[in-house]
Amino acid sequence: MKILLTNDDGIEAEGLRLLFEWARTIGEVTIFAPKTQQSAKSHSIEIHKSYEVKKVDIFEGAEAYSVDSTPADCVRVAVLGMKKQFDLVISGINCGPNLGGDIHYSGTVGACYEAALSGIRAIAFSAAFNDFGNAVKNIDRVYGEIRRLKMLDRADIVNVNFPEEGDEILVTRMGPTIYSDAFDFLPDGTIRPRLVCLYKGTRDLTLDTDATMTGHISMTPLHCDLTDSLAYDIITKKLG
């Protein structure tokens, strides 16, 4: 199996190195990752200027490239630019969770959406802030569960979040947004955002937010089709 690894924390991030050490046990690995930190870049791409793509020798036994652009562009360069063929794209392991409505901002998940648009199934892995221990401990077991449930036969993307502690695996839905920003208006005319946690907790373990926040590993199937199918069905029936 040919696997493309990427992330949004940058090519030198610890989470990517740990992901590589595991992924090389299940397939042939190639890495295309951002040169610098690209968190919260979502599915953005660069279309206005050129950017550097540089081969690097920092992953033993694997071809690797540093891309001075977004996570989505890392996938685009590999698949559309260099015409490489992959069976699976894996993004992460992200430093910090990607849960609920915050998934829309995630560069980790954004890379997976780009893969899915190219017809490649993808998995996003995210861990607790600055603690990859539980993710490393359980990643192989989670991948086995994804395969057992044939999740990638039914979904474009599987978004996985590991809590700091806890190893029960739950299949979940996307919950509400749990982080927002307050803005400080500075004397020099600039604005500085400050992260604000909105999570209050309902203990609804069908939601990725509650599941992960209460010590469970969440696996959420995602797809690229943004159509509101219920609204479409209602509207078209009325028109008919």
Residue 164 belongs to some domain of the structure:
yes
| Domain of residue 220, residue span | 2-175+201-239
Residue 190 belongs to some domain of the structure:
no
Amino acid at position 91, single letter: S
Residues 6+ apart with CB under 8 A from 211: 170, 172, 205, 217, 218
Residue 184 belongs to some domain of the structure:
no
Residue 229 banded pLDDT, cuts 50, 70, 90: confident
% of the chain residues with pLDDT over 70 = 99
Residue 111, domain CATH: 3.40.1210.10
Q: What is the mean pLDDT of residues 147-151?
A: 96
Residue 240 banded pLDDT, cuts 50, 70, 90: low
User: In this model, does residue 238 exceed pLDDT 80?
Assistant: no
Residue 193 belongs to some domain of the structure:
no
User: In this model, does residue 218 exceed pLDDT 90?
Assistant: yes
User: In this model, does residue 198 exceed pLDDT 90?
Assistant: no
% of the chain residues with pLDDT over 90 = 82
Residue 21 belongs to some domain of the structure:
yes
Residue 180 belongs to some domain of the structure:
no
Q: What is the model's pLDDT at position 196?
A: 83
Residue 105 belongs to some domain of the structure:
yes
pLDDT digits (tens, 9 = 90+) for 46-89: 999 999 999 999 999 999 999 999 999 999 999 999 999 999 99
The total number of structural domains that make up the chain: 1
Residue 185 belongs to some domain of the structure:
no
pLDDT digits (tens, 9 = 90+) for 2-47: 999 999 999 999 999 999 999 999 999 999 999 999 998 899 999 9
Average pLDDT of the residues of the chain: 94
Q: What is the model's pLDDT at position 104?
A: 94
CB 158 within 8 A of CB 116: no
User: In this model, does residue 161 exceed pLDDT 80?
Assistant: yes
